[in-house]
Amino acid sequence: MKSLLKSAASLIVLGFIAACATTSAPPSAAPAPTAQEAQAFVEAAERELATQGEFEAHTAWVYATYINHDTEWLQQRADAAGTEMRVRLASGAARFADVEMPAEVRRKLNLLRLALTLPAPGRPGAADELAQITTRLSSTYSTGRISVGGREYRLDELESLLRTERNPARIAEIWTKWHAIATPMRNDYPRLVEIANEGARELGYPNLADYWLSNYDMPPQEMSREVDRLWGQMQPFYEQLHCYVRGKLNARYGDAVQPATGPIRADLLGNMWAQEWGNISDIVGPPSRRTYDLSRTLQARNTTAVQLTEIGERFYTSLGLAELPDTFWERSQLVHPRDRDVVCHASAWDLDSKDDLRIKMCINIDADNFQTVHHELGHNYYQRAYKNQPTLFQGGAHDGFHEAIGDFAALNATPEYLVRIGMLRQAQLPSADADNALLMRQALDKIAFLPFALSMEQWRWGVFRGEITPANYNSAWWQIRRRYQGVVPPTERPADAFDPGAKYHIANNVSYLRYFLARVLQFQFYEAACRQAGWEGPLHRCTVYGNTEVGARLNAMLEMGQSRPWPDALEAFTGTRQMDGSSMVHYFQPLMTWLEEQNRGKQCTWSPT
């Protein structure tokens, strides 16, 4: 890369000398860039990205697993250097916008332009200022502590409390105190938006929202319409689920805590952000004579974090995929260390684009973490599958694909799967009359999540586009969540609150549209896999555990990485080129029919604004 810049500088100097040597001829125009130059630029960029990316990954790992002043300093420096490099490469890629070239080179140049989460402008100091803000936001979130009942709690401990706490006053206290930790972020977030929007404009995008939405092989406006279409397929189901759950909460807590009509109090849903409601399945049912408690089973067996992770690995190896490398087990963080602050939010890591795969979690032994382990390992197996692709193609077909693979694996964790891996006995296998209970547990997580994900992004898109101003950050947050989710906060929110920052993906600037898309795609992958395996029973009972033919076809899609537009990858495994919520509808249809019967005569709406 340095030699290319040096050559360009030399041409400029020589051109200036020639112009001064004579006044009889006008200076010649700079030669137009060529396809050969574009190819050379891409090759140099990939080498630089590979080297810098490995350095950044190791720096980020140390920061995330050992948070202190010094690792924050290192993280800021690495972020700033990486942002400056990617801004420079993105700007360089724009030079070739009008050059005819092979499709592969054009795709790599487009990916270079979209390689930043928060693009800093090119002016001196901008990347460093942005890195300081992002590190400060991340540390505020990850080191947050609150006191409840005279004891100090970390977030992962608070989440465990909310799973089983049923005293509404205590629930409101936990919720309110956690959201208060984000208040200091309110001072930093507007500046972050200002800098990142400036960077997006320099790259040719009107704002950061359009920049993010351009990363899906279609124009931003078309992608927004696609999201609306997919939500429209599942919105009727969510309305029925909301109506039923609200009735059950009203029966449990009474009108003074949860009215029988209108929105639901967000903290009563068993999750700090009301994004998944499965933790209140004991309240909402439906009851079944023959069901099982996976958390209790795991705990009764004294399952360790390592053993739980090994169970997840065995799902993938049963499909014919290779075991994880020894270094995975040596270097992963599976439990919260006793002696330091760490980022507990579960994540999967590929530190060298080869074989240094890891997950970072603070595993609790329960059904939720059983699912999460399957999910995170899906990232690792995707990362390993595309490791032989060029650097710029080492990614998911789009970010929703990456999230969907592990969730597809977790959908296979059916009662039949648990019997096959020895977690349940055949005699414990739930009969058909338990299906609504099993489907309800899934719907409380999968369906309830969809409008939360939309709310997250609708709020950020509005902020990035200037439609939501800093003075209205918090009020707009709750207006949007009421409109899409039908939820409200349990307490009056103070004027200086910044409740969005109490969610990891806001504080750490992680796009959330990927998770919405993943909810759709995982069911498409699942139905396609079950069809390939010849499954003939109810879709929600299917497992492809042990089917190496499905594994081979799945891995063929994973190996494509980001080398082709996502419809090509989708078609390779499912046979269709369009994301489609109909697989999700098929999966939950028995429960939908049951919910409509339960809700007959009820007013299943809430005031949306």
How many beta carbons lie within 10 A of that of residue 125, not counting itself?
10
How many beta carbons lie within 10 A of that of residue 234, not counting itself?
21
DSSP secondary structure, 472-504, as one string: GHHHHHHHHHHHHH-EE-SSPPPTT--GGGGSH
How many beta carbons lie within 10 A of that of residue 547, not counting itself?
21
Integer Cα distance of 564 and 543 in angstroms: 29
C-alpha to C-alpha distances, 330 to 61, 306, 339, nearest whole angstrom: 14, 11, 19
Helix (H, G, I), strand (E, B) or coil at 535: coil
- Taking Cα atoms as reference points, which of 503, 510, 504, 499 lies closest to residue 473? 499
Dig out the tokens for 534 from the structure.
């010849």
- Residue 350's beta-bridge partner residues? 357
Task: Identify whether the C-beta of residue 532 lies closer than 8 Å to the C-beta of residue 551.
Answer: no
Strands (E), 227-376: 264-265, 347-350, 357-360
Residues 6+ apart with CB under 8 A from 432: none
Integer Cα distance of 239 and 449 in angstroms: 13
Integer Cα distance of 226 and 581 in angstroms: 11
> Which own/partner pairs from 331-336 qualify as long-range (CB within 8 Å, at least 24 positions apart)?
331/356, 331/358, 332/358, 332/359, 332/360, 333/65, 333/358, 333/359, 333/360, 333/361, 333/362, 334/305, 334/306, 334/309, 334/359, 334/361, 334/363, 335/305, 335/361, 335/362, 335/363, 336/154, 336/156, 336/362
Integer Cα distance of 525 and 553 in angstroms: 11
| Phi, psi torsion values for 30, nearest 5 degrees | -65, 140
DSSP conformational letter for 167: -
- Taking Cα atoms as reference points, which of 531, 534, 519 lies closest to residue 588? 519
Task: Identify whether the C-beta of residue 152 lies closer than 8 Å to the C-beta of residue 233.
Answer: no
C-alpha to C-alpha distances, 393 to 260, 304, 563, nearest whole angstrom: 51, 36, 5
| Phi, psi torsion values for 146, nearest 5 degrees | -135, 155
Instruction: Cite the active site residues.
Output: 376, 505
Helix (H, G, I), strand (E, B) or coil at 413: coil
- Residue 153's beta-bridge partner residues? 146
Residues 6+ apart with CB under 8 A from 104: 563
| Phi, psi torsion values for 65, nearest 5 degrees | -105, 5
Write down the residue that tokens 């489609």 correspond to. 580
